[in-house]
Homo-oligomer: A and B are copies of this chain.
Amino acid sequence: MAEITIKDVASLAGVSAATASRVLSGNPATSPGARARVAAAITELDYRPNAQARALRSTRSDSIGLLVSDVRNPFFADLAHTVEQAALSEGYVTLLGNANERKEQQDRYLDTLISRRVDGIIVAPLGDGSGSIASLIEREIPTVFVDRTVDGIDVPSVTTDSEAGIRQAVEHLSSVGHTRIGYISGPQATSTGRERFAAFTSAVADTGLSQDPELVYFGDFQAASGSAGVHALLDLDEPPTALLAADSLMAVGALAILHKRGLRIGTDIAMIAFDDVEWFALLNPALSVISHSVEDMGRLAVEMLLQVIAGGTPESVVLPSELIIRASSSSPISPSAGLRPRKN
């Protein structure tokens, strides 16, 4: 019951707490004899140093915070895994938070992370620079943004160049004959939502496709909004013949509704999703995607965070994205496409 402290170890080993501490931290100013006896006492008592006390005294907690919108999103699950493993190999544990795309949850979690005195924070931020993000900066807490950025906040980041992938996707769809592409957008409160929407808009304009504003549905990066988006877009008087979803979750929601409405993907309607997910290739027809490397993103984020913790100011990194064409978008536009099934 009673906590075993370093004093217990020290007295069993016949040394002072100071010496025991030195042995524990590998301080060279210790005799071999003391080292041996302390080591023996530690295993004998199964002593585990109290990380709280250690953190209090040494002002480092050997923990980092990771705040994403939702680990159920395969993209963030991958990221969480990579970050956690990379951090662990450097001796840090990871506190995971889900903001669920809600600013108040993000702020709440950031507050907790600040209170816990984590050594650094990796966050896929949401909203503007107000609220707890500002506290982070003001307190000079080492922070790295992943996937997203915040306007006006100067923090190292690892992001994806969505522009290139989106442009390739639009041009590809245009090349197989589509002129009305429906876009299921991410929320404009996120930088990725804005950037991808802007990329879509400009690519559509440059390619000479329809710029009908009704062809854009604003979702929230969660599956349900993808479903709602498909309903909205297909119920237009002139529905699109191809769909582009700004993340994998909305794509899943969209696919479910396409199935339910009896539309054959790749034949009746083309579909492309942002974010690659292993099993998208297993769908029949396989889903075309805009792919980017989550592993690189996670690894780099941890690397950069460690640099910031060490006092450096690493350069932000922008990773490439690229279109991977699969069966869901490669057939030429079907003659029946564009007709509303209910009218058949």
By a beta-carbon cutoff of 8 Å, the part of chain A in contact with chain B is 1, 46, 48-53, 55-56, 61, 63, 70-72, 74, 77-78, 80-81, 84-85, 88, 93-98, 100, 108-109, 111-112, 114-117, 135, 138, 140, 223, 252, 255-256, 259, 278-279, 281-285
Contact = CB atoms under 8 A, between A and B. Distances in A.
Between A51, A98, A108, A284, the greatest number of chain B beta carbons within 10 A of the residue's beta carbon is seen for A51
Interface of A is mostly: helix
Contacts of A56: 50, 52-53, 56
A281 B258 CA distance: 12
B71 A93 contact: no
B115 A49 contact: yes
A138 B202 CA distance: 63
B50 A117 contact: yes
A108 B92 CA distance: 12
Contacts of A256: 278, 281-282
A112 to B, nearest CB: 5
Nearest to A258: B282
| Chain copies in the assembled complex | 2
Given A252-B282, A278-B223, A283-B283, A111 B81 contact: no
Nearest to A50: B117
11 contacts: A52-B52, A53-B56, A71-B84, A88-B108, A93-B95, A93-B97, A96-B96, A252-B278, A252-B279, A252-B282, A256-B281
A52 B78 CA distance: 30
Contacts of A51: 115-117
B115 A48 contact: yes
A84 B96 contact: yes
Contacts of A283: 282-284
B95 A96 contact: yes
Nearest to A248: B279
A84 B97 contact: yes
Contacts of A96: 80, 84, 94-96
A98 B72 contact: no
Contacts of A223: 278
Given A88-B97, A256-B282, 7 more contacts: A46-B138, A48-B115, A52-B55, A84-B97, A93-B95, A96-B96, A252-B279
